[in-house]
Amino acid sequence: MTDPRRSVPRTDAVLADPELADAVERLGRERVKEAVRHAQEKVRVGVLDPHHVVDAVLDALPTRPVTARRVLNATGVVLHTNIGRAALGDEAIQAVVDAARCTDVELDLATGSRARRGRGALTALAARVPEAEAVLVVNNGAAALALAALALAGPGGEVLVSRGEMVEIGDGFRLPALVESVGVVIREVGTTNRTRLADYADAIGPRTGAVLKIHPSNFRVDGFTCEATVSELAGLPVPVVHDIGSGLLAPDPLLPEEPDAASSLRAGADLVTCSGDKLLGGPQAGLVLGRADLVERLRRHPLQRAFRIDKLTLAALEATLLAPTTPTATALHTASSSLRERAESLAAQVGSGEVVESQGRVGGGSAPGLDLPGWAVALPEGVAEALREHAVLARVEKGRTLVDVRCLRDEDLPAVAAACREVLSQKGTR
């Protein structure tokens, strides 16, 4: 036996290997050198054949520029929180690319002077909701809500919230805690199942800055319930902030229980807050719409600067607002017959699997309990896990894998089918 330490290839020699030229160019010499050192160490301790050093280096180096991977959504859940909620449309993606270098986000190219940041997105939003006197865009829905509470109530001031609307939004974050974290006191009114206008009216005091009406977007309470409507609350002597959550700008007959910005403002809400990456189908953002004087108070508040929205997001938001439709709207509204055809096409490309009915969901904490009738290709249960390694996310239901086609585009089908075929063939040979 020869001493393995003797056969460790020299760093320079490994780095000069033509097979590593690409990696050196893409990742830089230092990064590749680090991987070479690790491989050399393995040779030294006798766990790597010195002839396989280059392969080991290539295996250890990332093949993608970032760790985040593109995932194909075959869950049938339109707004899947764990894969980034709304998928952007082609127009929005192009807008992000165009804005990525330098852009006139805050500059008037005609005069060379400073311009209102994100005016394109704000104008597009205002045009979509004429009921709003003014609009503002911040980092996300939570920021919009915190900013509204703080700007209207002030530190130590109060906002009134129904006990039926003390909502946890996910990952342990609770909206009341969010509001309290900026120094605003929550005054709870009513009960879990019933809160009336009089409960709010009785609770109004000198420190009340606003009534906060929060849409309980991710759960339902059935039975002996009642709540004060926005139009009732509008008669109170304090501003009404309506957190509608999902960002529907106008009513959608498919989602009858989902509040929308236009209707809420018409009913008398002074401000509406919502997310950009739920039903609106855009990037992560928080929208504020409503009374001009109140929007201006939020805009001038120091914390607004900490919630400022990025140029890439502004570009994606404007493009989303101007686009004729979004992938989210398309996935929600595609007719069941078209989904069935897509599922049949996928099954044919896979070469196996049964085309079955599949109940999709809106997801993202929107429209809980609403089924979206659709179609999927059913495969054996274990397939879902293996598909995940190919970055295809399917759903497991009643002992089988459902590859739901609702959120897949026709151009995604070949990649999904290839992943399914690969997984099924491996399964067969195991």
Ligand X SMILES: *Cc1c(COP(=O)(O)O)cnc(C)c1O
Q: Which is nearer to ligand X, 212 or 294 (CB)?
A: 212
CB of 299 to ligand X, least distance (A): 19
Which residues ranging from 279 to 338 are in contact with ligand X (CB under 6 A)?
Answer: 286
Closest CA to 343 of 325, 361, 360: 360
- Could you say which of 190, 209, 245, 282 contacts ligand X (CB under 6 A)? 245
CB of 422 to ligand X, least distance (A): 35
CB of 153 to ligand X, least distance (A): 17
Q: Which stretch binds ligand X (CB under 6 A): 19-27, 91-99, 239-247, 352-360?
A: 239-247
**Cα torsion 6, 11, 13, 14: sign:** positive
The pair of three-digit structure tokens given for residue 103, joined into one six-digit string: 């852009």
Q: Which is nearer to ligand X, 85 or 406 (CB)?
A: 85
CB of 99 to ligand X, least distance (A): 21
CB of 82 to ligand X, least distance (A): 13
Contact between 137 and 307 under an 8 Å Cβ cutoff? The reply is: no
Closest CA to 74 of 413, 352, 386: 413
State which amino acid sits at residue 97: V
Q: Which is nearer to ligand X, 247 or 360 (CB)?
A: 247
**In the beta sheet, which residues pair with residue 275?**
286
Does 124 contact ligand X by CB under 6 A? Answer: no
Which residues ranging from 146 to 185 are in contact with ligand X (CB under 6 A)?
Answer: 169, 175
**In the beta sheet, which residues pair with residue 371?**
none
- Give the up-direction half-sphere exposure of residue 249: CA atoms within 13 A in the CB hemisphere: 24
Q: Which stretch binds ligand X (CB under 6 A): 135-143, 180-188, 355-363, 410-418?
A: 135-143
Q: Residue 113: which residues within 8 A CB-CB, separation 6 or more?
A: 107
Which residues ranging from 80 to 109 are in contact with ligand X (CB under 6 A)?
Answer: none
Q: Residue 399: which residues within 8 A CB-CB, separation 6 or more?
A: 381
Q: Which stretch binds ligand X (CB under 6 A): 48-56, 103-111, 125-133, 139-147?
A: 139-147
Does 242 contact ligand X by CB under 6 A? Answer: no
Does 118 contact ligand X by CB under 6 A? Answer: no
CB of 143 to ligand X, least distance (A): 7
Terminal Cα-to-Cα distance of the chain (whole angstroms): 36
Kindly state the DSSP code that residue 69 receives in the 8-state scheme: -
Q: Which is nearer to ligand X, 270 or 277 (CB)?
A: 277
CB of 206 to ligand X, least distance (A): 28
Contact between 284 and 317 under an 8 Å Cβ cutoff? The reply is: no
Count of positions on this chain that bind ligand X (CB under 6 A): 15
Contact between 200 and 211 under an 8 Å Cβ cutoff? The reply is: yes
CB of 363 to ligand X, least distance (A): 11
d(CA 23, CA 95): 30
Q: Residue 120: which residues within 8 A CB-CB, separation 6 or more?
A: 314, 318
Does 141 contact ligand X by CB under 6 A? Answer: yes
d(CA 149, CA 253): 31
Does 400 contact ligand X by CB under 6 A? Answer: no
For the purposes of burial, counting CB atoms within 10 Å of the CB of 223, is it exposed (0-12), middle (13-18) or buried (19 or more)?
A: exposed
Which residues ranging from 342 to 381 are in contact with ligand X (CB under 6 A)?
Answer: 365
d(CA 430, CA 428): 6
Query: Tokens 């009732």 belong to which residue?
Result: 232
Does 264 contact ligand X by CB under 6 A? Answer: no
Q: Residue 34: which residues within 8 A CB-CB, separation 6 or more?
A: none
Residue nearest to ligand X (CB): 141
Contact between 260 and 251 under an 8 Å Cβ cutoff? The reply is: yes
Q: Which stretch binds ligand X (CB under 6 A): 136-144, 191-199, 390-398, 402-410?
A: 136-144
Does 142 contact ligand X by CB under 6 A? Answer: yes
Q: Which is nearer to ligand X, 153 or 214 (CB)?
A: 214
Which residues ranging from 198 to 227 are in contact with ligand X (CB under 6 A)?
Answer: 214-215, 217
Q: Which is nearer to ligand X, 286 or 290 (CB)?
A: 286
Binding site for ligand X (CB under 6 A): 140-142, 145, 169, 175, 214-215, 217, 243, 245-246, 275, 286, 365
